[in-house]
Structure 1
Amino acid sequence: MRITVFGATGGIGGHVVRQALDAGHKVTAVVRTSSAFELEHPSLEVVRVPGLDAAEPLREAIDGSAAVISGVGPRGRKDGPVASRSTKSILTAMEAAGVRRFVAVSAAPLGPVPPDESFLNRRVLLPLINAFAADVYADLRVMEADIRNSATDWTILRPPKLNNKDLTGRYRTMVGGTVTRGYLISRADVAHLMLAVLDDQSTVAQPVGVAY
């Protein structure tokens, strides 16, 4: 399968690129012209763009792909509406290229609170997290709304707090919901799931919660 990966220099996107190549996929990695990207592989094409704010430069990277994966997101609270702005351009480019399968990463606090969630998570941690990163989650809500309203066959992954530990391939998922007492997951395992759901029809037009 040929896959176009946005956010290829980021923590999740970088893992997606490497894992996809290891699995035998052909990968087009979209990176900013100002970003360093040194990975080389016979099945890897690197497309450099000035930014992700305009759709037309992105279409070339998407043409001929079977799916698009986006690990694009803010690196911090002061980055502004990175996710929604970039995703809008990606969706427009996908429509122009006639590519439908789209997998993007969001965040667990945007999902529903499970009825059996712990008191600590429900009453203390989640309200604190939502208040602390209100701008980030507002951006992600706009992004999710645009994805849901698009013509793509989309899946949105909602992980909790991310870390840089190794790939395990072992985690819990909840299609359409949030993993109960899910506090952590590695970026490598989020990337693993992003690739795993590409051929899983049960995840189309669904958010998917994921955590250890």
Structure 2
Amino acid sequence: MKLTVLGATGGIGKEIVRQALDAGHEVTAVVRDPARLPVTGARLDVVRADLTDPEALRPALAGRDAVLSGLGPRGRGDAGIAARLTRTALAAMESTDVRRFLLVSASPVGPAPADDGPLDRFMRSAVSAVLRPVYDDLREMEADVARSAVDWTSVRPPRLQDKPVTGVYRKVIGGFPRAGRFIGRADVAHAMLAMIEEAGTVKQGVGVAY
């Protein structure tokens, strides 16, 4: 497949690029600073583009089978960036023939498991309160995507870790795994790539966790 990766220098984005190349895909990595992307490969095209300008982004999307986005806030100070930059991507996609769009959100944005224990409910509530601006940003992003015409999937991980890819994790379409507290960035990337052709994930939020 021909894939475009947004936010390719981030923790999840560079894992998407690396694993996609290993799987034999052709990858266009959209970055602000090519020097920050440590991944190389014969099937990799690194494109510097202004992610606030749909016209600048359009050539990197046209003719691709799917767009995968690792864009998102790194902390409270970045709140607003996910919705703003995702709107640019949606505007660019509207003028191309690409429709499949997978993006990273976060577990508190989606529904909690009905059978979560008290500790998990407390942790979810506490984290949501501390990082409210971040999750408000992601909720706005998801709302924009849900109103769009693209075939979207919002991938909602819990706390992220830097671990090698395992390919072993739980996922719940339209919900979240019970007591799912952690997942590695590499496994989030693995999950996103696996969902590209999974019809049941289209126009759905998907919770992923160990």
Q: Specify the TM-score bucket, using the shorter chain as the normaliser.
A: over 0.9
Q: Cα offset for 1:201?
A: 0.2
Q: Cα offset for 1:38?
A: 4.3
Q: 1:129 maps to what in 2? A: 127
Q: Cα offset for 1:35?
A: 5.5
Runs of 4+ residues over 3 Å off in structure 1: none
Alignment of 1:65-104 (within 5 A): 65-104=64-103
The whole-number CA distance in structure 1 between the counterparts of 2:144 and 2:47 is 25
Whether the 8 Å CA contact 2:17–2:39 is kept in 1: the answer is: no
Query: Per the alignment, in what secondary structure is the counterpart of residue 113 of structure 2?
Result: coil
Whether the 8 Å CA contact 2:162–2:185 is kept in 1: the answer is: yes
Q: Does 1:36 align with 2:36?
A: yes
Structure 1: tracts of 5 or more residues without a match: none
Q: Does 1:144 align with 2:124?
A: no
**TM-score of the superposition, structure 1-length normalised?**
0.96
Query: Per the alignment, in what secondary structure is the counterpart of residue 76 of structure 2?
Result: coil
Q: Give the counterpart letter for 2:71 in structure 1.
A: V
Whether the 8 Å CA contact 1:9–1:35 is kept in 2: the answer is: no
Whether the 8 Å CA contact 1:157–1:209 is kept in 2: the answer is: yes
Structure 2: tracts of 5 or more residues without a match: none
Q: Give the counterpart letter for 2:22 in structure 1.
A: D
Q: 1:202 maps to what in 2? A: 200
Q: Cα offset for 1:77?
A: 1.0
**TM-score of the superposition, structure 2-length normalised?**
0.97
Q: 1:168 maps to what in 2? A: 166
Q: Give the counterpart letter for 1:166 in structure 2.
A: P
Q: RMSD over aligned Cα, in angstroms?
A: 1.0
Whether the 8 Å CA contact 1:5–1:71 is kept in 2: the answer is: yes
Q: Does 1:154 align with 2:144?
A: no
Query: Per the alignment, in what secondary structure is the counterpart of residue 170 of structure 1?
Result: coil
For 1:1-37, what per-residue CA distance to the aligned partner results, in whole angstroms no more than 9, with x for missing partners?
Answer: 0000001000000000000000000000000047522
Q: 2:46 maps to what in 1? A: 46
Whether the 8 Å CA contact 1:21–1:44 is kept in 2: the answer is: yes
Q: 2:191 maps to what in 1? A: 193
